[in-house]
Amino acid sequence: MNRTRAQLADGREIFFYDDEPRTRQVSDQREIARQPGDTQLRFDPLLREWVAVASGRQQRTHLPSADKCPLCPSSDGRATEIPQPDYDVVVFENRFPSFSGGGGLPEPAEDIVQLTSAEPGGMGGVRREGAGRCEVVCFAADHVSSLAQQTPRRMRTVIDAWADRTEALMASGDVDQVYCFENRGEEIGVTLHHPHGQIYGYPFVTPRTSRMLSSSAAYRSRQGADLFEDILEAERAAQERIVASTEHWTAFVPEWARWPVEICVYPHRGVRVLPELTDAERGDFAALYLELLGKGDRVFAMNLPYISGWQQAPASAEGTDFRLHLQLFSIRRAENKLKYLAGSESGMGVFINDIPPEQMAQRLREA
């Protein structure tokens, strides 16, 4: 791994990951300060979930023109968030984070029993200092490129960066779970067009992961088996929802897919977090993932808006059944139609999928 660590002018960390060995001298000469607006955690006693309040994000950059993009390399006369004339992959602390602070991990949701807070201004609720960390990952210096257009070598550098930052964040003491993800397309809500993703270091176990851990524990208790392993084996046996497979990975549309386009990518080995992947598994995934992104762009003959992210085991879930996997989904349901969450989905969490998963799997295979 070819990594260079430096600091931005306001003290935030930045990491350069190069495809090939390279010596970088990094100096950010901007006169900037940390953005005001601390983050805070508030507990929802009905759903037993933490909610983050991050007022500073109201000031974040929104759909700038290409000549004002903060993720492009710096050039003569214009300094950006990346103080270099060129780069391969770069990761830096988000200037407008959803999670930040060194407050340490809050108590697990299941341990909270009181409804009122003793803290001044608590307004009767349970609140904690902000914790966690948010980072931005730029996949290429080219503003009009995309992750799907990168080479397998560049994709491998991205994977190594994801794994490296996962390991560092989980060792920080302020992060329990790491989510490496990409939002692509204005339809999804992207506010910067430059090819990039994000890394969230949550100070708690996320609701989705908590549900998966509960389900897998119940399955282990009843069946004496690993739920993730059995899901993978069932899909490989059925074949009808598999999109692509390699020596180390299988990509499939889950039978219960909520979204018009939804793909899960499972490793064949029981890996829990990205740093545990071998060189062979990382290289194999790089080629497979680029193939899947290309299929996504061809299925509707246009760039697919999507959210794609790694589901990783929390540090606090040691000893439980959990398998690292990637989930990619899109709100695109036709060339001229998007899926907007309706009342049942937004209000009650009950999804209705317009496209049978078997049909979408076939369309993706043929794309």
Residue closest to 89 by CA, chosen among 168, 160, 172: 160
d(CA 219, CA 198): 32
Provide the total of helices (H) and of strands (E) in the chain, helices listed first.
6, 16
Phi-psi region of 101 (alpha: psi -120 to 50; beta: other; left: phi over 0): left
CA–CA dist 307, 89 (Å, integer): 19
Taking the alpha carbons at both ends of the chain, their separation in whole angstroms is 34
- Supply angle C-alpha 224, 230, 232, rounded to 5: 160
C-beta of residue 179 within 8 angstroms of C-beta of residue 200: yes
- Pick the catalytic residue from 196, 248, 268, 325: 196
Q: Is 194 a catalytic residue?
A: no
Secondary structure of residue 208 in the 3-state scheme: helix
Largest CA distance in the chain: 65
Q: Could you say which DSSP state residue 73 is in?
A: B
Is residue 216 helix, strand or coil? helix
Q: To which residue do tokens 């890394």 refer?
A: 199
Burial of 245-279, coded b for 16+ CB within 10 Å and e otherwise, reads: bbebbbbbbbeebbbbbbbbbbbbeebbbbbbbee
Structure tokens at 291: 């193939």
Structure tokens at 55: 């007022």
- Residues 196 and 140 sit within 8 Å (Cβ to Cβ): no
Helices within the chain (DSSP H only): 152-170, 207-223, 227-238, 279-299, 343-348, 357-366
Catalytically active residues are: 196
